[in-house]
Amino acid sequence: MKFGIATFPEKAIQDFANSYRKRYDPNYALIPPHITLKEPFELEEGMLPQAVEHLEQTAQETAPFNIHFHKISSFHPTNNVVYIAVEKVDEINRLHEKINRGHLHHESGYKFIPHITIGQKLPQDELLDVYGSLRMLEVDMNSWVDRFHLLYQLENGSWTIYQSFLLRG
């Protein structure tokens, strides 16, 4: 089964992100706006209890924290993605590192950059046009992170929550 780990921002931020995602993100209907804490990975069902135990331990050791979204950015030219950037926050980086240990460790092809995708798989011209206009937006939003979610992918490609983990550190 394919799993992923993410946290969802507060509703106002999701609404802001969705106002762009419905037009620029083909995954709009598959998952709400989120910050990926661990990119999608395969996990055999027999390994699920150990993964859940690891995530429970991680949540126990991690205190809730605030994150600040401060601008629109892009991964261009590496990827044609436009996103809402999270201002450097050590807590979210530490949470990502803790999650990606033990049974859930794997090398990633990308450096972890916390963000909410608002546009992806855009043709080059459209990407440059969209990013050119959106980067002028003033972004100043905060969200409280007090939980993360183990998600699994359904046959239709959409993602649903398997289990949520409350930060209690």
- Which residues are part of the catalytic machinery? 34, 115
Cα–Cα dist 25/42, whole Å? 24
Cα–Cα dist 131/116, whole Å? 14
CB 159 within 8 A of CB 32: no
What are the φ/ψ torsions at residue 90 (nearest 5 degrees)?
-60, -35
Contacts of residue 132, defined as CB under 8 A and 6 or more positions apart, other chains included, come to none
